[in-house]
Structures are given as C-alpha cells and as structure tokens.
Amino acid sequence: MAFDFLQRGTGNNKRFTDVDDNALRQCNHVITDICARCEKEVESWEHIWSCSENSKSEYDVLIDTLIEIENKYNTPEEEVNYKIIRTLAKEIVTFMMAPSTILILGNQKRSREVTRELFNDGLYKICNDKSERRIIEEVWGKFYLKVRQEIWLDRCNKINEIEKSKSITKLDKKRNVQFCR
C-alpha cells in the first residue's frame, strides 16, 4: 500500500511516496498497517484481540480467571463463595460468549466489551443476591486485568521486541510529513 504525503513547509506542496519518505528519514523501514506479529492481516482494534500470534484467546483468559477464583475459594472458610462461583461459572461463560448488543460493528462477543472497559449490566441478571453480585464483579475485574496482562501487554512487549530487532526507533515512527486528505 503506497501512501501519498505532502512535505511540510513547502510552497509547491511537493508529493512524496512512502519510499521517498523513508529515504528522507534515512531509515530502511516501511511502516505499514499490516500486523507486525502475524504479518497476515491489517492490524485493527479487532485484529489485536484475535491475532493468531496471541498466546491466549479471550475465552482462554476467561476460563483461567474462573479457575483462579474457584481455587481461591476452595477452602473450608470460603465454602459459600466456592459454591457460588461453581454455580455461576457456566452462566458467566455463556453470557460472555454470546453476541454483544453494545458493540454493533462486526460479529463481536460480550467478552470483547471487557477490552473496551465496558461492564455489561446484563451480568447482574445472572445473580440472585449481593454475594453473587460481588463474585461477578470480582470475576469481571480479574478478567479485565488478565486480558490486559496476557493479551494487550504481551502484544506490546512483542511489538517492542520486533521493533528493536529491526532497529526501529520512536523517531522513525514519527513522520515529518502530513497525509494528503
């Protein structure tokens, strides 16, 4: 994909292609919108979460979160909470994997709402009392943190490694020219 640029500060609005721009910046990196990890698809917000290079899917992270909370409450002192999480786990997974009514673009699941920090009040319809509500809020909070850690931050670290291996600096990523509109 060739981008068309205008050089800033010139009266004649000289046009540059991305190759000319890279030569002007004295780097050999063509910055594209293709995912740097899988190099297969355009990197969009949706692709970030479904990239084949992710170590885990949102579903895997949700299951790990439920297992972690279940193990936390698997003690004689927390027997009531253990029964609650065991009862709610299947309903939470079913709810989170259902199509989203909030995110209307594309075929997105409710678990994708978490990536946008949206708490779906429909989760409260699963519970019958305050203790179940507290458990659901705990699951959502831990799920959000684990998605952030295991998908988003993992992706950021891998992108940084790729950029270091290609000797791409922050200065390389800043363009001194404007996009033509």
Average pLDDT over residues 24-41: 72
3-state secondary structure of 55: coil
Of 68 and 8, the one with more pLDDT? 68
Q: Is the pLDDT of residue 41 over 80?
A: yes
Q: Closest by alpha carbon to 19, among 28, 6, 11?
A: 28
The more confidently predicted of residues 1 and 41 is 41
Summarize pLDDT for 44-74 with one digit per residue, the tens.
Answer: 888 888 899 999 999 999 999 999 999 999 9
CB–CB of 82/89 below 8 Å?
Answer: no
30 pLDDT band, cuts 50/70/90, is low
How far is 50 from 43, CA to CA, in rounded Å?
10
Domain boundaries, the chain: 4-49+162-179, 55-158
Entry pTM: 0.74
The 3-state secondary structure of 77-123, one letter per residue: HHHHHHHHHHHHHHHHHHHHCCECCCCCCCCCECHHHHHCCCCCHHH
| pLDDT at residue 26 in the model | 52
Residue 165 Rama label (left phi>0; alpha psi -120 to 50; beta): alpha
- Mean predicted confidence (pLDDT) in 98-103: 86
In contact, 76 and 64? CB cutoff 8 Å: no
Across 4-18, 22-36, 49-63, 78-92, least confident range? 4-18
Q: How far apart are CA 96 and CA 101, in angstroms?
A: 12
pLDDT, tens digit, 9 for 90 and up, residues 117-172:
889 888 999 998 999 999 999 999 999 999 999 999 999 999 999 888 988 877 77
- Using alpha carbons only, give the angle 133, 143, 149 rounded to the nearest 5 degrees: 155
Strand order of the sheet with strand 15-17? 15-17, 4-7, 177-179
Report the pLDDT averaged over residues 99-121.
85
